[in-house]
């Protein structure tokens, strides 16, 4: 049944409280050490609830009922269980493990990831939907499966992930969302966002070690996903290039765009002369080279980029490192005049 006593519950360190009725239950609002919910009964939070150890929903269902739930240890949903957010904030500090059903809400519901160590997020369904997703812990997070969110708020910590798909707003604190590489919060993986027409938008991405955002001004409204990858481009033709590249995929609606990528100097600068680096794009088969980079502002920029060119990977380097060099004849000093398709000797 429910807890109807007027006395408080003191759940000491190492203790486990289990709510396991097959009938409906209101879970007492208090601070637990370990909290277990089992059996087929529908349960609701009775108020703001904290768990200092682990939280496990093995069976039945739990509705947050407009109250906050903070879990310091692991958070788990069993295969036969359903967790539903109806208002409130779910704060996670160690791990998220879902083998059942997680309903992330649609209005004010928020999941706040705030561990001082990296928080692992694992979902057997292959993806998770969260209404408002907020990262606020210095330990960041590791998320191997896609997450869908109505909005994303980056406050602290690097989020290493497969893909985060955001249908609404993306925001990050003033420390992170600028054109320099401080420590802050960004996505180490693909971040898919929507872009308004003719509006410069920062995509807060980077690698595990560095902030390396993209800035995109789309000619028409649409969406795309972009990630930053640590290391030289796998199809480099020489060593004199950036030690980072960016990948753009899933372009929808955008016809052309101005794109700028920010790199960290000296972390990402390879061999050769940085001032001689040119913007380079690889479409999976061949290189296309554009103008030189801004070696003072540490940016790689290409304007009015059409969709066909935009998709693929971007980096910068000396021309010989981002495509095979070409031999061009501008004049012939002696001998006979060569004609098109007629072989002639070249003595070097």
Residues 126-143 pLDDT 10s: 889 999 999 999 999 999
What is the average per-residue pLDDT within 46-68? 97
Percent of the chain scored above 70 by pLDDT? Answer: 88
What is the per-residue pLDDT across 219-241, written as a single tens digit (0 to 9) for each? 999 999 999 999 999 999 999 99
Specify the pLDDT at position 267.
93
Specify the pLDDT at position 341.
56
pLDDT for residue 332 is more than 60: no
Q: Considering only the C-alpha atoms of the chain, give the largest distance between any 2 of them, rounded to a whole number of Å.
A: 107
What does the mean pLDDT of the chain come to?
90
What is the per-residue pLDDT across 297-311, written as a single tens digit (0 to 9) for each? 999 999 999 999 999
Q: What share of the chain is helix, strand, coil (3-state, %, to 5)?
A: 5, 50, 45
pLDDT for residue 192 is more than 50: yes
Rounded Cα distance between 251 and 263, Å, is: 23
Q: What angle (nearest 5°) sits at the alpha carbon of residue 217, between those of residues 213 and 220?
A: 135
* Site of tokens 């788990």: 76
Do 104 and 88 form a contact (C-beta atoms < 8 A)?
Answer: no
pLDDT for residue 273 is more than 80: yes
Specify the pLDDT at position 336.
56
pLDDT for residue 85 is more than 90: yes
Confidence of residue 327 (pLDDT cuts 50, 70, 90): low
What is the average per-residue pLDDT within 123-128? 90
What is the average per-residue pLDDT within 13-19? 93
Confidence of residue 343 (pLDDT cuts 50, 70, 90): low
Confidence of residue 181 (pLDDT cuts 50, 70, 90): very low
pLDDT for residue 13 is more than 90: no
In sequence order, what are the residues at sequence separation of 6 or more whose Cβ sits closer than 8 angstroms to the Cβ of residue 329? 338
pLDDT for residue 177 is more than 60: no
Query: Left, alpha or beta for 9 (phi > 0: left; psi -120 to 50: alpha)?
Result: beta
Can you name the residues that pair with 32 across neighbouring β-strands? 51
pTM: predicted TM-score of the whole model, two decimal places = 0.89
What is the average per-residue pLDDT within 1-16? 69
Do 219 and 256 form a contact (C-beta atoms < 8 A)?
Answer: yes
pLDDT for residue 1 is more than 90: no
Confidence of residue 180 (pLDDT cuts 50, 70, 90): very low
pLDDT for residue 155 is more than 70: yes
pLDDT for residue 329 is more than 80: no
């Amino acid at each position: 049944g429910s807890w109807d006593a007027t006395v408080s519950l003191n759940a000491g360190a190492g203790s486990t409280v289990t709510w396991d009725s097959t009938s409906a239950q209101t879970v007492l609002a208090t601070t637990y050490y370990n909290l277990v919910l089992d059996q087929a009964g529908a349960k609701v939070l009775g108020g703001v609830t904290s768990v200092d150890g682990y939280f496990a929903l093995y069976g039945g269902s739990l509705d947050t009922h407009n109250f906050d739930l903070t879990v310091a240890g692991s958070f788990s949903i069993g295969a036969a269980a359903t967790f539903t957010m109806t208002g409130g904030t779910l704060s996670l500090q160690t791990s998220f493990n879902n083998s059942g059903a997680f309903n992330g809400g649609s209005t004010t519901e928020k999941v706040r990831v705030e561990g001082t160590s990296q928080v692992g997020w694992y979902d057997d369904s292959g993806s998770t939907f969260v209404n408002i997703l907020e990262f606020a812990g210095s330990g960041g997070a590791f998320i191997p499966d896609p997450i869908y969110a109505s909005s994303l708020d980056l406050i602290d910590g690097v989020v290493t992930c497969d893909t985060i798909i955001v249908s609404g707003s993306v925001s990050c604190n003033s420390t992170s969302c600028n054109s320099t590489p401080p420590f802050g919060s960004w996505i180490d993986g693909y971040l898919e966002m929507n872009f308004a027409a003719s509006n410069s938008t920062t995509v807060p991405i980077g690698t595990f070690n560095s902030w390396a955002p993209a800035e995109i001004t789309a000619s028409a409204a649409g969406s795309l996903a972009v990630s930053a990858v640590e290391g030289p481009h796998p199809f480099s033709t020489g060593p004199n290039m950036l030690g980072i590249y960016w990948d753009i995929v899933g372009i929808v609606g955008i016809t052309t765009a101005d794109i700028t990528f920010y790199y960290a100097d000296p972390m990402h600068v390879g061999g050769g002369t940085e001032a001689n680096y040119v913007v380079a794009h690889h479409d999976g088969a061949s290189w296309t080279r554009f103008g030189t980079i801004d070696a003072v502002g540490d940016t790689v920029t290409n304007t009015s980029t059409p969709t066909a060119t935009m998709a693929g990977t971007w980096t910068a380097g000396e021309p010989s490192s981002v495509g095979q060099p070409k031999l061009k004849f501008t004049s012939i000093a002696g001998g006979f005049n060569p004609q098109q398709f007629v072989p002639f000797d070249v003595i070097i």
